[in-house]
Amino acid sequence: MGTYQENAKVFKALCDPKRLAILEQLRSGEKCACVLQEPMDLTQSGLSYHMKILCDSGLVVSRQEGKWTHYRLSEDGRNEAVKLLLAITTPDAEQASKCPNCNK
């Protein structure tokens, strides 16, 4: 599944209201940075900060077109995030350890 630090990037991307709002905007398709910036009331550097975190998580991918960057949701990133969440929240009976103090 990857290292804890790599996996944590997904959750870091999802733990900020502005990033969640950006993801919501991207659900309708690819968007130019200028389109994302206005309704979010973000500066260019503020948007860039959030987009770096989203791209580092794998949930969003980018491409350059002239001086503008365009962003879209990553299907692969979404699938990996879902697998990660399932993996870390599914009980593993084989790995369960008994409490040495109460034998449970």
**14-45 per-position pLDDT tens digit:** 999 999 999 999 999 999 999 998 888 899 99
Our CA angle for 41, 43, 48, nearest 5°, is 115
What is the pLDDT at residue 19? 97
Q: Is residue 74 part of a domain?
A: yes
What is the pLDDT at residue 104? 61
pLDDT in tens, 42-67: 999 999 999 999 999 999 999 999 99
89 has a pLDDT exceeding 90: yes
Task: Name residues whose C-beta falls within 8 Å of residue 88's C-beta, 6 or more positions apart in sequence.
Answer: 1, 7
Q: Is residue 78 part of a domain?
A: yes
How many domains does the chain fold into?
1
CATH number at residue 60: 1.10.10.10
Helix axes 4-14, 44-57, angle to 10 degrees: 140
Q: Structure pTM?
A: 0.86
Q: Is residue 65 part of a domain?
A: yes
SS3 92: coil
Is residue 55 within 8 A of residue 61, CB to CB? The reply is yes
Q: How confident is the model at residue 99 (pLDDT cuts 50, 70, 90)?
A: confident
CA–CA separation, 47 and 17 (whole Å)? 13
68-90 average pLDDT score: 96
Under DSSP, the state recorded for 58 is: T
